[in-house]
A and B are shown apart, each in its own frame.
Chain A
Amino acid sequence: MKRGFLLSVFAMLICLSIHAADGTTSLNVNALVSPILSVAMDDPETFNIIGSDRRLIASKIVGNTIVKSSYNSWKITIDSNYNSSSTLGRLKLDGGDTYLPYRFALMDGSTTVVSSFNVPSASQPRTSMDGVSMILYLYFDHSDETVWPRGVYRDTLLLSVTTD
């Protein structure tokens, strides 16, 4: 009788262990990935905007704007200190009240990302770790016949990236 009881207990333990082996255990793994959204651009070198024909040069590559984003959708906006309209920026002569107009375009390859001041671009996709590099062009009126006073002209651009 005692032996039979022990056998029954043993059988029960086996069943329990088998039951335990068939059971499902859930494990929650939580990892925090910090979002990335950054914009960077080096200050361009000073360049002369009068060509050999004594007119304003037509265009100039100012530099590369690099945006890194882990967001699926982001936009870039460019604003200017002295712009006179949404498309016309101005460079101010140091020590004077002379303003030299220009237009701009931020290009991703052959695609214009933004070319108006203070108007957000269309939504852009997530970037690689290295980010997306866009070229900033300035455009001047080559047909302009103004004799621009010599000197240094400046403007300040504010580049902002936001998520939708």
Chain B
Amino acid sequence: MKKSFIVVLLIALIGLPVFADQAVVQLKVSVDTSLTLTTSIPSIATLTTLDNNIGTVTLASNGAAWVLTVKSVNGGYLKATDSANTTHYPYKLTVGTVNAIDLSDTVNHPLYTYTLNGTAASVTYPVSVQFASTPAALGLPAGTYTDQLYITLATP
């Protein structure tokens, strides 16, 4: 009886795979901050009325806080392309629900820059340009008046 038991036990042991070794590996990957800015605003937006919807900007963030800036090159005015014409055509911006942004107001907008901080994962802001008066009402000489806006999305 005892002999039989030993034989059976040996067979059982032979039938089992021999465990040998193990290694534990920690996988650790990172997803870095990702901010994207897309816009439907054309490279040249022609302004023909007092209130001009020029397009939208869409921001996307993967969880990082962000800061949107809109900076005017011409000090917050439309300047005549004719260098002999030194008059300015004042305007105001609307970005999203924020109205009457006057980039020429350096007290509220240093460096002619509007700044908006946020954390939303994805948001779209309509952008429009408003004039208080027509050029004729302001007595502006005929010609083309322009400004350049740089719209930037970055981390704070």
Interface residues of chain A, those whose CB is within 8 Å of chain B, are: 37-41, 43-44, 46-50, 54, 62-63, 65, 69, 71, 74, 91, 100, 136, 138, 147-164
For the complex formed, measure the closest distance between the CB of B65 and the CB atoms of chain A, giving whole angstroms: 11
B25 touches A156 (CB 8 A): yes
Bound form: Cα–Cα A137–B89 in Å: 61
Which B residues are within 8 Å of any A CB, using their own CB?
Answer: 17-34, 36, 60, 62-64, 121-122
Asked if A155 contacts B22 (CB within 8 A), the reply is no
For the complex, would chain A's binding face be called helix, strand, loop or mixed by DSSP majority? strand
Chain B contact surface mostly: strand
Known: A41-B23, A49-B30, A157-B24. 5 other contacts (CB 8 A): A39-B21, A48-B30, A63-B25, A161-B21, A162-B17
Residue on B nearest A148 in the bound complex, by CB: B31
A147-B121, A163-B20 as given contacts; A41 in contact with B25, CB under 8 Å = yes
Q: Given the interface contacts A147-B60, A149-B63, A150-B62, does A74 sit within 8 Å of B29 by beta carbon?
A: no
Residues of A within 8 A of B64 (CB): 150
Checking B18, B23, B27 against A91 with a beta-carbon cut-off of 8 angstroms, the contacting residue is B27
Known: A147-B62, A151-B63, A164-B17. A158 touches B30 (CB 8 A): no
Q: Which of B18, B21, B27, B36 contacts A154 (CB 8 A)?
A: B27
